[in-house]
Amino acid sequence: MTRNTLSATMAAALTFVALSAAPALANPAANKCVAALSPEGKLMHQTVAPHVQADSDIEKLMRKHLRGLVMGGKLKLKTAEANGMAVGRCLTLLKG
């Protein structure tokens, strides 16, 4: 890859990351909620949050995106269940 192509690709990637994080950064209530989560809860939130839209069904999103963490051994089922309600409340705040 040429230097210009690499620079353009990196700039595009950084812009995407910044824009995808903007809604969470602009929501102090959601940030405060996430800060109170356990480390596992924060992992769950990080996994699902990028997929939350105004009309999202949070429970379905959580099942869809957290199943892989549980099946892959990165998150225990009991831990996911124990943190689910708190994470769901935080994710709901992202809906706006």
Mean pLDDT over 81-90 rounds to 97
pLDDT at 88 over 50: yes
Domain boundaries, the chain: 26-93
Q: What is the pLDDT confidence band of residue 96, given thresholds at 50, 70 and 90?
A: confident
CA distance 12 to 92: 29
pLDDT of residue 27: 87
Mean pLDDT over 57-75 rounds to 96
Model pTM? 0.72
**Residue range 10-46, pLDDT digits in tens:** 544 444 444 444 444 568 999 999 999 999 999 999 9
Beta-carbon-side half-sphere exposure of residue 90 (alpha carbons within 13 Å) = 27
CA distance 28 to 30: 5
